[in-house]
Structure 1
Amino acid sequence: MHPAALAGATLGRLAHHAVSGLVGAALLRGASKAAPKAKPATRKAVVGGLAGGIVAARWLGSAAEEARLKAGDMLAEARSSLGEEAPPPSAVDIGGHDHDHEH
């Protein structure tokens, strides 16, 4: 890349960050002035968003576990159709379990 092009790209990025920083600062200043009026509504919206995120994370965890179990069932069925014996779930190697507490 030509040094002038590199310098131009760098200056362009710096200008972009400076302008976006000024716009962000202006938005924060405006938001902080409006915060005393909108604080309860904003807090309620944030708490609602977090609660929705928790519910979504639980649903995703449940869906992932269900998918894992179904995949395991299909794998066991495929092995049995080949005449192989599927290992029991307890035969899964849990290597890397090296912290110091007793089970």
Structure 2
Amino acid sequence: MHPVALAGAAAGRLAHYAISGVVGGLIIRGAAKRLPEAKPAARKALVGGIANGIVAGRWLASATEEARLKAGDMVAEARTTLGEEVPPPSAVSVEDHDHGHEH
């Protein structure tokens, strides 16, 4: 699968969870206003929904990192096929990075 497609799928999933969480929170808030005795249950459901959102966010970050690493492997393989030298992943060139301290 193309890295852009993976990133798009991940972004879509994140948007789905965010929208679901907001809509769910609004529904629970409206129900809690109508039924004061439902507040503890509504709060518990809302906290559970937020916890699920955190778990989903962590899973999404992990999946995104895995996709990034796989894409990097494919680019390295393609460069090797072309006979180019593949730079190590930690090779980063930073030019003119003035951010307030001396090196």
Scaled by the length of structure 2, what TM-score is found? 0.60
Aligned to 2:23: none
The question of 1:37 aligning with 2:32 is answered: no
Aligned to 2:79: 79
Q: 5+ residue gaps in structure 2?
A: 1-29
Spell out structure 1 runs of 4+ moving beyond 6 A.
none
Q: Tell me by how many angstroms 1:56 deviates.
A: 0.3
Aligned to 2:58: 58
Ranked by relative contact order (alpha carbons within 8 Å, sequence separation 6 or more), the top structure is 2
Counting matched residue pairs gives: 75
Q: Tell me by how many angstroms 1:92 deviates.
A: 2.6
Q: Which is greater in Rg?
A: 1
Q: Tell me by how many angstroms 1:90 deviates.
A: 1.9
The answer to whether the 8 Å contact 2:32/2:38 transfers is no
Rate the CA distance shift 1:100–1:40 in 2: closer, same or farther, 3 A: farther
Q: Tell me by how many angstroms 1:33 deviates.
A: 3.8
Q: Tell me by how many angstroms 1:100 deviates.
A: 4.4
Give 1:73's aligned amino acid.
Answer: D
Equivalent-residue separation in structure 2 for 1:85 and 1:59 (angstroms)? 33
Rate the CA distance shift 1:32–1:62 in 2: closer, same or farther, 3 A: same
Q: Tell me by how many angstroms 1:38 deviates.
A: 0.5
Calculate the aligned-residue CA RMSD, in Å.
Answer: 2.9
Equivalent-residue separation in structure 1 for 2:101 and 2:71 (angstroms)? 31
Scaled by the length of structure 1, what TM-score is found? 0.60
Percent of aligned positions with the same letter in both sequences?
70
